[in-house]
Structure 1
Amino acid sequence: MNARVTFALSATEREYQPAVEQWFDFIVKAEGDHWLLSSGRRAAVAFSCLLVPDNGDRVACTGNNTEIFITAIVQRSSTQPATLGQLHQPLRLHASELTLSAGKKLSLGSAGDCDINTVRGSLSINCHHLITQVAANWIQSAAHCMARFGDLTTTVKQLLRTHAQRQLITAEKELKVDADVIHMG
């Protein structure tokens, strides 16, 4: 049922702007920056509508004879995930505390750079498995670095070099050095 509400405007306002109506409609398909509605009208998405519409969605519309806007997604027609924001516009979330939580999987991705910064405090990553892949360069910089492992295996194709003013290699039971040629001193 499409209920329509018409706002009455003063005589002065009516000269400049036709009556504004609100109604519910369904999205048929995308047409460029606009959406074709089941009523045959074309509507743009209002800036305040943060969810991106999808075909078949029931939407709240407002407009007049010259322009129509989708103001809200009332009901999702499919099991497609909800998309927040528009790709051509930046989106910022500001809060004193922000939590992102997912029941199955959380993915962060970018076609460009991806930065995670903390001005004060720490960054903690706790997981069962950690897999990192770097295509070109991996640079780490810290005032102090401490790592603890049960076992650590490092495989390098060409050259593995460690350099310091002082180095210490210790073992409680056994230290093995194995190579075709060993230079010391």
Structure 2
Amino acid sequence: MDRSVRSIRQPAAVQGLEEAIVESVSESGVLITSPNGIERASQAVSCLIKPCQGDTVLLLRVAPSRLYILAILERTAASGRDVALEFTGSVSISSAEEVTIASKHTKLAGQQLDLVGRDLSLTSNTLKSYSDTTVLSSKTMKIASQTLNVVGQHMSRHLKSFVSMVAGNEVRKAGNVTSQVSDFKLDQSRHSIIDVRKDLKIDAERIHMG
């Protein structure tokens, strides 16, 4: 046999804890180098960190052919500093007190993301939201801002009642303005100026001036 080829053996080892080196990781299991040679081991459910090639792991031998990786003892620089937690089913984190996740960059990714809470607070210097469609539904909504800019190609509002109160100046600039009122329209002001450069047309059944 070629001495450069190492075979997978199933030795009659003593049960207990051992230290091993991860050779490779695949869906079928983890190949490790133990004091008995190259063997195949499974990741224990309690070992949350996914093993990587080159990791030093704590191995539990419950039978000659049944080995479980209990923990990652050491990760070399060649394996990288990244740590992955992988689960095959649902994961639940429960605490009677506060849960804090702190990092330089936190990313949440999923096909569907639900945030449910009695009170939800977002605090940020800059808040950005990108989506194809955004739907906001609320019994009461309040927007308070020192400066509010709304920019879009089209904007429509469908309201039962609309009240606008501006304490200072209101300026409107448009190419064309059309107002359609089905019943009654009232414009009240202390002073009013209508400045028309060309034509002014007033069409009504009765016109009262004075």
The letter for the 1-side match of 2:93 is L
Aligned counterpart, 1:60: 58
TM-score, normalised with respect to structure 1? 0.80
Point out the more displaced range, 170-179 or 40-49: 170-179
Residues 76-119 of structure 1, C-alpha deviations (whole Å, 9 max, x = no match): 22342222233x332221111311111x1111111x1011111x
Stretches of structure 1 that go unaligned for 5 or more consecutive residues are: 1-17
Local SS of the residue matching 2:131: coil
Distance 2:20 2:30 in 1: 11
Q: What does 1:61-80 align with in structure 2 at a 5 Å threshold?
A: 61-63=59-61, 64-78=63-77, 79-80=80-81
Q: What does 1:98-117 align with in structure 2 at a 5 Å threshold?
A: 98-102=99-103, 104-110=104-110, 112-117=111-116
Aligned counterpart, 2:16: 21
Contact 1:56 1:77 in 2 (8 A): yes
Residues 99-156 of structure 1, C-alpha deviations (whole Å, 9 max, x = no match): 1111x1111111x1011111x3x11000000000012x21101111111112222122
Local SS of the residue matching 1:40: strand
Aligned counterpart, 1:149: 145
Distance 1:167 1:59 in 2: 67
CA RMSD of aligned residues (A): 1.7
Size of the aligned set, in residue pairs, is 161
Aligned counterpart, 1:6: none
Distance 1:166 1:157, change over 3 A: same
Determine which of 120, 123, 128 is the counterpart of 1:126: 123
Local SS of the residue matching 1:131: coil
Determine which of 165, 190, 193 is the counterpart of 1:170: 165
Larger radius of gyration: 2
TM-score, normalised with respect to structure 2? 0.71
The letter for the 2-side match of 1:98 is V
Identity of aligned residues (%): 18
Distance 2:100 2:57 in 1: 28
Deviating 4+ runs (over 3 angstroms): none
